[in-house]
Structure 1
Amino acid sequence: MIQRVETPGAVYIHIPFCTNKCHYCDFNSYVLKGQPVMDYLDALEREMERTVRLVPPRTIETIFVGGGTPTVLLPDQMASFLQRVRAYFPDRSAQLEFSMEANPGTTDKEKLQAMKEGGVNRISFGVQSFDNALLEGIGRIHNTDDVYRSIDNARSVGFTNMSIDLMFGLPRQTVAIMHDTLDKALELGLPHYSIYSLKVEENTLFHTLYHKNQLPLPDEEEELDMFLLIMERLKQAGYQQYEISNFAKPGYESRHNSMYWLNRSYYGIGAGAHGYMHGRRHVNIKGVQPYIDATRSGLPQLEQHEISEQEAMEDFMMVGLRLLRGVNRADFNRQFGTELEAVFGSEIDRLTARKLLEPTLEGYRLSERGVLLGNEVFAEFLSAETV
């Protein structure tokens, strides 16, 4: 299995601090006030040093800094952090994609300049909506003016590769509100948009409200209408839907996220970060101080396990089919040394008969109907008996 020997060419680094906790968020994040930020950056350095000593990197193709909100770091903290990343991952592709998540309202010009000088060349802004009442209702602290100001600031210091995240299926959101948000988003003329449906996750305020019957969500039909509208509007505007939730102008697809969707190896650094190296997945200790303490004596891993060949094959199908070009049988053969149909023939036949999958010259992809029912498709492979 190729993952057992593949050295990662992708790096994920987690900054767990936020200005506040959004009502829908179950990510490993903590309100910034009173947090030991510099101690945390020191701990990241210790983990990077140990990690690259144990698994020396090849040429790094993508780096992604997520959170939390990485842009809550002050400009001098940001410069210090990025200097350390450069030190431990110095061998970088000339086409390196170096992405950082940002919250509108936390990106003044000085900070953006520190990001640019530190090597960041792609920013993903967590916008979620262009409706201020909706933003307030989901616990965001920015408003639409902050969005415009942040993007103007980023352009003024030279960033051109930018994306925004939007959400649909939010409480009290309607198709008309979604239409207006898409108008405003597309007017920005950005090269990439990520648009996700709300999932009510455990350990969130929304989860509590949902079980008290106090979360006024759109019904399934209205949510489906929003998704159909999103796909149609982005297509009309010249964006390719290259993954279920992601749309890009040619050449601006997220190469880092594609590493996940192609089931490739990657480093996972930071509190609560996940990594996949040499056929083993790991997750780090989540709490800020416990993570810091753990890095003083070794790798700060909470747990790790070896991926069986069956699990890796199932992962290949489930994440690969999120890409609208689908899965490639030659890639499957290269990774596992066997034919795709020999392992998943019956599942493929069932899904093809239900018109959820369709064959391509290279393999299989979701049909138009399958894109709308992706979770049903993925579940088929999760329960599959491989041979």
Structure 2
Amino acid sequence: MTQTSRPFLPFVKPDIDEETIQGVADVLRSGWITTGPQNQQFEAELSAFVGGRPVRAFNSGTCTMEIGLRIAGVGAGDEVITTAMTWVSTANVIIEVGATPVLVDIDSAKRNMDLNLLERAITPRTKAIMPVFLGGLPVDMDRLYAIARAHKLRVIEDAAQAFGSSWNGKRIGAFGDLVSFSFHANKNVTSIEGGALVLNDEDEAELARKYRLQGITRTGFDGMDCDVLGGKYNLTDVAARVGLGSLRKVESITQRRRELAQLYFDAFDGGAAVKLGLGLPPRNFKDSNWHMFQVTLPLDQLNLTRAQFMGELKERGIGTGVHYPALHLFTLYRERGFKEGMFPHAEHFGASNVTLPLFPQMSAEDIAHVVTSIDEICAQHARLHA
């Protein structure tokens, strides 16, 4: 039975408060709306958040990964190992710098790169590793960096979804090698569009600055030089002001998301969907920032497709997403030699995952509505009732 009286519940909703809106208005009135003092303040507060490491802000979390690869010296002839379960940007930037993406399957339980397979994928051409923290849950960082050190490899962390996540009590970004964050509108901390790169020292930070804006260095009033091939990746002060407002609430945002995730687990416990085999995410409340709550559908037990399932939820006023299809099955990557069957865990997850609504403004009643709807749909379409 569909329900249309409730307001539509999207799977994500940015949390931008009135103080931030007023701050954006002040920036617009200031006359300095491109990269300037707000950007500098945003970088300073990001740096403080990750323990004082140098940080540079950019206009996307995609260019931060590309620039991270360039700073790490990755280029033509090199291989970079990443996971088959990620958004295409992770592998696209490897191709952009002239290197070859090498994919490995995921651990079916944690949904991140299988580190056993990572070790087997290393060759003499491997230059770097790009782990992805799906849904905000980090990989085993101790083991990851032990592997990297043993093979003298750079690590560019695709931590796009992991701002506010941690490992053994240390924030992601506060340790490790190069760390790339995204502040897209669907992220826990947002600047609408944007990203940041955490760097190891001031030399890397200066190189990142050059890559961000055409490779230009200015001295005095009229001195100017270009000594690297940069691009146009700077973050506006308007976006930086949005990011500052969001960053200052990150602790409360993370806590609320954890509370909502727990409500999901409690509501699903013993219900029709779980009994049919609905897969729930890893219950990691120590390290994850709960950027997403992703379930996997027991499609072999249901007489409907994933699209039909999502359509029925939409009829009940519930928005959903898919994060993500298996990377290697996109046409671009099939044309590069990847084939179905190469990464079975990523393929299964990619074909069955559904992202449920999770954002701080949600209520316990919203969670109950989502879970009740899923239980009803699964019970109605269970194959034993077909």
Question: Considering the TM-score relative to the shorter chain, is it more than 0.5?
Answer: no
TM-score, normalised to structure 1, is 0.28
TM-score, normalised to structure 2, is 0.28
